[in-house]
Amino acid sequence: MLLEAIYHRPRLNWSYAYDETTIHLRLRAKKGDLTEVFAWAGDKYAWDATKELIPMTLFTSDSMFDYWECESVPLHRRLKYGFLLQKDNERIWMTESEFQTNRPENPNKLFEFPFINRIDVFTPPAWVKDTVFYQIFPERFANGDPSLDPKNVLPWGGTPAPDNFFGGDLQGVIDHLDHLSELGITGIYFTPVFSATTNHKYDTEDYMSIDPHFGDTQTLKKLVDACHERGIRVLLDAVFNHSGRTFAPFVDVLEKGEASRYKDWFHIHRFPLEVIDGIPPYDAFAFEPMMPKLNTENPEVKEYLLKVAEYWIKETGIDGWRLDVANEVDHEFWRDFRKVVKKANPDAYILGEIWHESAPWLEGDKFDAVMNYPFTDAVLDFFVHGSLDAEGFANSIGRQLSRYPLQASEVAFNLLDSHDTPRLLTLAGGDKKKMKLAALFQFTYMGTPCIYYGDEIGMDGGGDPDCRKCMEWDPEKQDRALFDFYRRLIDIRASHPALRTGTITFLEAASHGTKLAYERRLGDDIVIVMVNTDETAQTLRIDASESRWENVLTGDPLRADRGKLTVKLPAYGYTIIKAVI
């Protein structure tokens, strides 16, 4: 066996408390190298009486490695452990310091999980696993109160530009909650709603007031209450990395320069604040002069922003925060942010905007989840762009699962497009068959799926600002068949716990392949999804653990023949089947 590839650390995603009684252990090995793995575990104070070999299962793989996993429920919430590695008849024991051919004589040199302290257990809100989110860009969703319109408002449905307005507001969302309830939505993520000068509101002017073009605090309360009556959670956008140029403390710095008491609220390199060659003399979001970066290490800034986070939870009853440009804010700020938010609402969902691997933010002391853009990229590359084969896709998903503790993956925010990207239908070149395949995986995978407003009725759009078109409310211009497709996906997801929190096993994912089959399993709830991403009909023949099956989409019965299920799929076709036990 290739010992150089074997890896374990007694922390992070390798050894962690899944809940107050359960410890998960993971081990990495070269792909296909080991045939069996066991955790050798017991209580350090009662080793001889408690030691046992716990079989580990191959829970995921990527292009280079296998990842083995087991769980232990130690009687006294602590664990000493090593590993027994087997490759056919070869046996190696792994301790904290070395590999050896003989069983270690005592546990002193083994790994240790000292104790499950309840306060240290990473516990994201359970409701997120069962939620389907819907992202709303308020200025473009619906105009419910024309009296709030900006002076330069344009007729609804015009061409979006970086600086134009169409009058969308919070009352417009309230007026169309029936649409979301009919679809099956149980969570809304709003891009910023606080006072700002732009249509996107990421240049905050006043964190303590709702933008007057959207409504006021009472309107937000009314919206949150109306959502909660329908079982819909509400997530607001917190832009704490930077403010807007019209934010009062920054205005004071612009007016008074070095004499301003707020100069240390920002990262200013020199005075006067003159932009030279497009680069401002202060840190900003990218190099955007109208979005100066806040100094979250400054005690006054920190206190102010934490009060903002607490205020809107207590004042309006929102269910959590999405955090803009979250990875550019210092970790200590987010640790304190979590304490404040969870004290105000222990069940609040804290979601960070990070576009890449995010393990440092998912250790239980900062975020509950991140916007899962690596998931987005993999899904689009396989189902939409065709630049990834089935094996590459399965490896990509496996790699992502290996990076985080299970509870983080269960509440990951899985999106396929947003206000920051071209729309899914446009990415698919207008091909709704490809769009449906991507959505199918999104809704049959763990984590919370999010639909960008309008995708469900066939809206298209390129990159910003084209992806921020006005919502189409004319029924004659809506794709109601696509709406029904999304509604059915949401219903199927709600009906099968395995699709939300079950294990995932790829049954068909070949190199250069365009066929994909995977099983989601949770107890007796066993669901298999099969997909054909090719322009030609294909037949899938996969191993089946049960003999009797049912097509979830049609209700037709299926039977396995000699342990095999055979299903023919049309071009860009799919099916979902469940075991009948």
Residue with tokens 């983080």: 408
Residue 356 burial (10 A CB sphere; 0-12, 13-18, 19+)? exposed
Give dist(CA 250, CA 256) in Å, integer.
10
Q: What is the 3-state secondary structure (H, E, C) of 187-251?
A: EEEECCCEEECCCCCCCEEEEEEECCCCCCHHHHHHHHHHHHHCCCEEEEEECCCECCCCCHHHH
Amino acid at 16: Y
Q: What is the helix (H) or strand (E) element at residue 504, kind and residue range?
A: strand 503-509
156 contact partners, CB below 8 Å, separation of at least 6: 143, 166, 167, 470
Give dist(CA 497, CA 489) in Å, integer.
13
Of 288, 405, 267, 263, the residue nearest 330 (C-alpha): 267
Q: What secondary structure letter does DSSP report for 136?
A: E
> Each residue of 250-280: b (16+ CB within 10 Å) or e?
bebbeeeeeebebbbbbbbeeeebeeeeeeb
Of 357, 361, 448, 362, the residue nearest 400 (C-alpha): 357
| C-alpha separations of 256 from 203, 259, 271, 503 in Å | 21, 5, 10, 59
Amino acid at 567: V
Q: What is the helix (H) or strand (E) element at residue 565, kind and residue range?
A: strand 564-569
Residue 15 burial (10 A CB sphere; 0-12, 13-18, 19+)? buried
Residue 87 burial (10 A CB sphere; 0-12, 13-18, 19+)? middle
Instruction: Decide: helix, strand or coil at residue 113.
Output: strand
Give dist(CA 172, CA 167) in Å, integer.
9
Q: Which residues are catalytic?
A: 324, 353
Give dist(CA 522, CA 520) in Å, integer.
7
φ, ψ of residue 500 in degrees (nearest 5): -100, -45
Residue 217 burial (10 A CB sphere; 0-12, 13-18, 19+)? middle
Q: What is the CA radius of gyration of the chain?
A: 26
